[in-house]
Amino acid sequence: MTVDVEVPINRETALVDPLSSLSKPLVVPLGSRSYSKQFAQLYDYRLSYLKKRVLPRAHRKWSQAQPSSSSESQSQSQSQSQSQSLDSSQQAAEQPRFVDRILDIQAGEVCYIVGNLYCAMPLKPDVLEEITREQWLAPQPPRSKFVDYEKDELFIEDQSGRVRLVGDALKGGTSLRYKCITGVVAAVLGTETKAGDFEVVDILFPGLPNETKVEVGDQEGDVKMEDGPGDSWVALMSGLEIGGETGVENEMKMQILTEWLTGELGEDEERTSTSKITSVVIAGNSMPQPVRNEDEKQQKRFGQDIPAYSAAPTQALDRFLTDLCASMDVHLLPGEKDPASVAIPQQPIHFALLPRAGRFESLNRETNPTWFGLSGRKLLGTSGQNVDDIFKYLEGGDEMRLEIAAQILEYGHIAPTAPDTLWCFPFKVTDPFVIKAAPDIFFVGNQPSFATALQENEHGHRTRIVLIPKFSSSGQVALVNLRTLECKCVEVATDV
């Protein structure tokens, strides 16, 4: 169910919000939602921006020659300088050279290039094939995986051209091949073969930007500290699916969840713990997927038909949010099943659907993906479409999803498969999915099970990664301490 209407966002703190520069590009006004533009400019911006980040990493790892300063050369003797210049020339001959354009690669020369990766996958859905398919043939069932390492081909391209990537390092099942998906910007080290392919030795990705390291919690291993007097927690949940077919059972679960979050349920110790929950994040799929009924297939007669749309889910969500917003801040993200735009970034759920909860200033209707801040922490999150789409590119089970989320931070891009297999708007002058700041918390909603990890990049910045399970099936809520980044999973739903 989609609603393509303009969504006014009224935030008085937008001008002073330090994350406004990150969240503002994700808001797409109604007048600019046009699909008449091409996606080439989106890839061009992605490459030009992330190329500046990945090149220094490639220089540090693959280029070891360091020029000597003039003061050092003057202090050295003539014989020493001659021997050192000979060694440096020999060393430079063995070191790879950066080639700015793919078309300038010389055969047999060890070099490294930067470009966008593209994986040609025969099993991937093809629009032209669907259009030309004969009408009397039954459609093929949807695939859960697109990957076939024996037939898939990997390319790297820039504004000048494209070259195929080959080599033992990219064979199916290797760690490098696992990380290579469509849309990712990467630096590739190798040499051109006689056949015109590029034999790969190593690959680097942009990673997160360099920021000042903040000392939080323990530095040894995972973060786990006792609650301090000033600690505050954020509750992360997704997949509520309020107002589904099991309306009575679902309503009772929502009531139990509300009472637990507001500190009205449990023993004194549990109430004291829940009283430290200051914010709630609902990461998509708050309402169930609408189901067509038989009445919709009948001929419509003006003024005599009963609307097939049921307002029960939106009314139930409005009541649930009203109870929460009265005592804490709520950040609401749209999801795949919610009444919002299908293409990402999904725009906030329209305020007209939440007439009671929308009156509270504590209700923050976010985009998907979204950036926002809590207690000095930067939070980046999605409703899960990006991880679900990347999951189709790789072999393996659901245990890989946490690794995919961690690899997204290494890519420096939150949705690299958009617009190839993940719908998005054709942006002209920017790519809002580029990660331009290092988040403290990165959450992904609507996942099969709870999982978490604490990832530290090369600059010493640590990010808490949280996979949020579907509450409708698991009854679980993830809690993150905003001071220590400690994370835990709590099951609050009971059998009813």
The pLDDT of residue 231 is: 83
pLDDT exceeds 80 at position 125: no
- Binned at pLDDT 50, 70 and 90, residue 245 comes out as low
Quote the number of domains for the chain: 2
In angstroms, what CA-CA distances link 86 with 42, 64, 131?
Answer: 46, 16, 64
Question: Is 297 inside any structural domain?
Answer: no
In angstroms, what CA-CA distances link 292 with 239, 245, 447?
Answer: 20, 13, 26
Q: Which domain holds residue 48?
A: 40-63+94-204
User: Is the domain of 262 the same as that of 158?
Assistant: no
| 130 compared with 177, residue with greater pLDDT | 177
Give me the CATH number covering residue 160. Answer: 2.40.50.430
- Binned at pLDDT 50, 70 and 90, residue 140 comes out as low
How many residues are listed for the chain in this entry? 496
Query: Which are the contacts of 296, defined by CB distance < 8 A and separation ≥ 6?
Result: 308
Burial of 17 (0-12, 13-18, 19+ CB in 10 A): middle
Structure tokens, 411: 């890519």
The pLDDT of residue 304 is: 54
The pLDDT of residue 432 is: 94
Question: Is 104 inside any structural domain?
Answer: yes
Of 240-249, 356-365, 410-419, 452-461, least confident by mean pLDDT is: 240-249
* Helical axes 247-261 vs 312-325, angle rounded to 10°: 10
Question: Is 369 inside any structural domain?
Answer: yes
What average pLDDT score do residues 154-166 get?
94
User: Is the domain of 118 the same as that of 244?
Assistant: no
Sign of the CA dihedral with 319 first, then 243, 28, and 440 last:
positive
- Strand pairing report for 370-374 and 377-382: antiparallel
User: Is the domain of 154 the same as that of 260?
Assistant: no
The pLDDT of residue 383 is: 96
User: Is the domain of 454 the same as that of 348?
Assistant: yes
Q: What is the DSSP letter of 467?
A: E
Query: Which are the contacts of 468, defined by CB distance < 8 A and separation ≥ 6?
Result: 236, 237, 238, 239, 283, 443, 444, 445, 446, 447, 450, 478
The pLDDT of residue 30 is: 80
What's the predicted TM-score (pTM) here?
0.84
- Strand pairing report for 153-157 and 162-166: antiparallel
The average confidence (pLDDT) of the chain is 81
- Binned at pLDDT 50, 70 and 90, residue 296 comes out as low
The pLDDT of residue 248 is: 57
User: Is the domain of 361 the same as that of 252?
Assistant: yes
The pLDDT of residue 91 is: 41
- Binned at pLDDT 50, 70 and 90, residue 305 comes out as low
Among candidate residues 158, 120, 125, the one with its CA nearest the CA of residue 43? 158
What is the longest distance spanned by two Cα atoms in the chain?
101
Of 3-7, 115-119, 401-405, least confident by mean pLDDT is: 3-7
